[in-house]
Amino acid sequence: MTVNADPVTNLTAVENGVIAYDSTDHKFRAYIDSTWTDLNNFKRLADITDGATPSIDCLDYANSKTFWSTAESTPALSVSNLGEELLISVKKTIAGDTTVTVSGTGLKFIDMNVKALPATSVVIVLSDTTNYFFEISISDSGTTDGGSNVILVIAK
């Protein structure tokens, strides 16, 4: 495997099966059937920052991921333009519980940790020590009769 700023442009005379790490886009790429293919389909979004209302615009990418380092005890995260899946890596930087409320326009959420009924938001409690990492997975599972997308949320 090779590391290259732009393997698609910079690597020539490549044989099928070559794997390269694109250090500009931060993606693994493979040369398959005479063409470069992304091996990781998740689009990296800008980091979420603490504020009055932290938010993430998924830009309708099918699969996206982001990072959020939070020092807030009760943040309310707003999600917009969700594609199929959003992975949020969360670093909790304060002692005690952090209670995150996730919501979004036109979305109905199901907390898969407790199998709750769809609601306009979901509350996730991140417990444990300072500087502990969590992952929140938000997946679109389809549309309800009322036209809202049902969003499955898992925190671990």
According to the model, what pLDDT value does residue 143 have?
66
Can you give the residue ranges of every domain in the chain?
Answer: 2-38, 43-155
- Percentages helix, strand, coil for the chain (3-state, rounded to 5) are 5, 50, 45
Q: Cα(128)–Cα(150) distance, rounded to whole angstroms?
A: 29
Per-residue confidence at 147, pLDDT binned at 50, 70, 90?
A: low
What's the pLDDT tens digit per position in 69-79?
A: 889 899 999 99
The count of other CB atoms within 10 Å of the CB of residue 138 is 25
Indicate whether 145 pLDDT > 60: no
Beta bridge pairs of residue 41: none
Per-residue pLDDT of 33-66, as tens digits, reads 788 877 766 777 888 888 777 888 888 888 888 8
> Using one digit for the tens of pLDDT, what is the confidence trace for 9-42?
888 888 888 888 888 777 778 888 788 877 766 7
Neighbours of 106 (CB within 10 A): 12
